[in-house]
Amino acid sequence: MADPLPEGSQPFTIVKEKKQKYFVHIILFVVTLITTTIAGLEWTTGKVGPYEFSDLLKGLPYSLSIIFILGVHEFGHFFAAMYHKVKATLPYFIPFPPIAGFFNFGTMGAVIKTKSVTPNNKAMFDIGIAGPIAGFVACLIVLIYGFTHLPPAEYILSIHPDYFSPGYGKGNLNFEFGSTLLFELLKMLFTNSSDFVPPMSEVYHYPFLCVGWFGLFVTAMNLIPVGQLDGGHIIYSMFGNKIHETIASISMLFLGAIGLSGFVESFLEIELGFGWTGWLLWAFVLFFVVKVKHPPVPNFEKLSTGRMILGYIAIIIFILSFSPTPFVLSL
């Protein structure tokens, strides 16, 4: 009688491979939790290591908030893929180690990978839009909480004791986030005259506002209607290849223009009032790595009215969340 061991060992091999696969997700999640906690501590307090455990606890509101937004975004994609029976991985969180003197958020985001063909543009649309919509809702939750739970002015004084002095910040290199239409709207709706509302040059000291702003920034980057970005999936699924290619080309020219504007401001010291050199780098990545065109799907059908409305909502979210000058350095 033949030895059944090789056949019987197959399930064990599959279980082992699954454990190894989940192990990668868990390790990346844990490392990202650590790097975002350290980044959160640095953003909110201005402290640079070495740290004590009690210091790291101060970075948790930031790190848990940022993982919440990224996780909700990626699980939006994941569950939409499951609904359409498209095989997909769990989210891979991407850690980024905090480096002294280098501004970063402790992470480069998170991704899932689809492992089977998306059968049609309806499935493509649902998978593409589910992440930004879910992540946008998570951003709203974090931002509304941040604006409705602003600490008193003593909080900023604990970081910058001379904040209210006339000479504060003069002669120093100043850094600030560029605002967005949505950020300003939420500020107007959920704060009042009795609150100390931090200017954009101090928002990064407030973990929920900092993370909410970052979430909008990531959402806007993903919704740029180019190639296989979420925005590219949405526009391609709504309008087809020709219109997508036109919109993607215009978007690339726009990114190049505001990127060059930022370059002119930064290196030629010509004041233009908008732009960021990072958009030039992002345009380079999109052109050479992500690609401008969207690959075809096996079957293309007209989307339902409900899906089209959701698509237009995603376009509005992009406009409300996008900042042509997300980061500003000035003297």
C-alpha distances (whole Å) from 263 to each of 217, 251, 258, 328 are 20, 18, 9, 12
330 falls in which pLDDT band (50, 70, 90)? confident
Higher pLDDT, 12 or 69: 69
Average pLDDT, the chain: 90
Model pTM? 0.91
Which two structure tokens, joined as six digits, stand for 124? 């493509």
The crossing angle, in degrees rounded to 10, of helices 305-321 and 207-223 is 130
Which two structure tokens, joined as six digits, stand for 209? 């506002």
Hey, which bits of 251-331 come out as E strands?
A: 327-330
CA distance 36 to 40: 6
pLDDT at 3: 45
Higher pLDDT, 148 or 99: 148
pLDDT tens-place string over residues 249-308: 999 999 999 999 988 877 766 777 788 999 999 999 999 999 999 999 999 999 999 999
Residue closest to 46 by CA, chosen among 201, 179, 216: 201
CA distance 38 to 313: 35
pLDDT at 294: 95
Percent of the chain with pLDDT over 70: 92
- Beta strands 107-111 and 174-177 are unpaired
CA distance 67 to 63: 6
- Neighbour count for residue 309 (Cβ, 10 Å): 11
Cα dihedral 302, 303, 309, 311, rounded to 10, equals -100
Which two structure tokens, joined as six digits, stand for 52? 């004590």
CA distance 40 to 95: 13
Spatial contact of 211 and 142, defined as CB atoms under 8 Å apart: yes
How many structural domains compose the chain? 1
13 falls in which pLDDT band (50, 70, 90)? very low
Sole residue written with tokens 């345009």: 283
pLDDT at 17: 54
Give the single-character DSSP code of 205.
Answer: G
Is the per-residue pLDDT at 10 higher than 80? no
Q: State the residue range of the domain holding 199.
A: 5-330
For residue 54, the number of C-alpha atoms closer than 13 Å in the C-beta half-sphere is: 0
pLDDT at 48: 77
pLDDT tens-place string over residues 71-101: 999 999 999 999 999 999 999 999 998 776 5
Spatial contact of 37 and 198, defined as CB atoms under 8 Å apart: no
Cα dihedral 169, 99, 33, 145, rounded to 10, equals 20
- Using only C-alpha atoms, the chain has a radius of gyration, in whole angstroms, of 22
For residue 267, the number of C-alpha atoms closer than 13 Å in the C-beta half-sphere is: 8
Spatial contact of 295 and 228, defined as CB atoms under 8 Å apart: yes
Bond prior to 50 in cis (omega within 30° of 0): yes
CA distance 156 to 40: 16
Residue closest to 136 by CA, chosen among 324, 331, 325, 314: 314
pLDDT tens-place string over residues 97-115: 877 656 789 999 999 999 9
pLDDT at 104: 83
pLDDT at 5: 44
pLDDT tens-place string over residues 187-246: 999 999 899 999 999 999 999 999 999 999 999 999 999 999 999 999 999 999 999 999
If you write DSSP's letter for every residue of 222-251 in order, what string do you get?
A: HHS-STTSHHHHHHHHHH-HHHHHHHHHHH
Which two structure tokens, joined as six digits, stand for 182? 């949505």
pLDDT at 9: 47
Query: Which residues fall within 8 angstroms of residue 318, CB to CB, at 6 or more apart?
Result: 219, 220, 223, 224, 231
Is the per-residue pLDDT at 1 higher than 50? no
Higher pLDDT, 54 or 69: 69
Is the per-residue pLDDT at 11 higher than 60? no
pLDDT at 16: 52
